[in-house]
Amino acid sequence: MPELGKVYLVGAGPGAADLITVRGARLLAQADVVLYDALVTPDMLDLCPQAKLISVGKRSGQRSMAQTIINEQLLECATKFKLIVRLKGGDPMLFGRADEELRALEGAGVEVEIVPGITTAVAAAAASKQPLTKRGVARSVAFFTSSTAPDHPEHPALPKTDTLVQYMGGREAAATAQRLLAEGRRPELPVVVVENCSRADERILRLTLSDLAHGLEPGHGPVLVMLGEALAKREHQ
């Protein structure tokens, strides 16, 4: 058996190349091969000019590579290369399907290390200058997505927290707003929508829960929706 390489699951952060961690950037500069997500920017890939690049992008609502194929590619790369980077948007451990890749790699005896990244919710809060928690107003936050596994097609109940952050929320945001209204949330509840967070074409929208219930215009990139009293616009914003 040939000696197996080591795989690093690296969080690329929300998009901007200078928001990756120092460790993540160092590993990219040392990598023999980089398997990267669709949301990884060209500027980020400029950090690894020496590496072989393999696109394994998955985009909501679009035809994309099956996770089983990605797992197989990672295993194949581990037999050919010493240092393999699996570059994931945001943080690998949050909606990044890290569990499936870890299971495949560990089951084959491949050494794996996780390098965290800035998750989009935190970056979106920073971009909008809107804290997700606020003393006396909000002390709990929930990150959720409407995407479900094939064997769990039904939508789970919405979290009962002060601030809600919906990942990949563009098409599902209206349904979320309607469910919250039905649960008794006030129509004027503040909502902040961030599209293409941290990128040059970033767009920030401020609206209310009742506005959101009517849906969002089609976007041109990943959309994150933040809902809660803590998101009320400050006097000098």
What tokens does 173 get?
Answer: 């945001």
C-alpha 22: how far from chain center? 19
What is the homologous superfamily of the domain 6-115 according to CATH? Answer: Tetrapyrrole methylase, N-terminal domain (3.40.1010.10)
Per-residue pLDDT tens for 98-107?
999 999 999 9
Name beta bridge partners: 53. 34
Per-residue pLDDT tens for 182-195?
999 999 999 999 99
Mean pLDDT, residues 71-95 taken together: 97
What does the CA dihedral 12, 16, 19, 22 come to, rounded to 10 degrees? 60
Domain assignments of the chain as residue spans, ordered by start: 6-115, 120-231
Q: How confident is the model at residue 150 (pLDDT cuts 50, 70, 90)?
A: very low
C-alpha 129: how far from chain center? 19
DSSP 116: -
- Residues 219-228: b if buried by 16+ CB within 10 A, e if exposed: eeebbbbbbb
Please give the model's pTM, rounded to 2 decimal places.
Answer: 0.89
Q: What is the pLDDT of residue 170?
A: 86
Mean pLDDT, residues 91-119 taken together: 96
Distances (CA, A) of 75 to 6, 35, 67, 112: 10, 12, 12, 11
Out of 3.30.950.10, 3.40.50.1000, 1.10.287.130, 3.40.50.300, select the CATH number for domain 120-231.
3.30.950.10
What tokens does 132 get?
Answer: 């997700």
Q: Is the pLDDT of residue 60 over 60?
A: no
Per-residue pLDDT tens for 37-49?
998 999 999 999 9
Mean pLDDT, residues 3-9 taken together: 97
Positions marked active-site: 37, 58
- Residue with the two structure tokens 């089951």: 107
Q: Is the pLDDT of residue 215 over 90?
A: yes
Q: How confident is the model at residue 57 (pLDDT cuts 50, 70, 90)?
A: confident
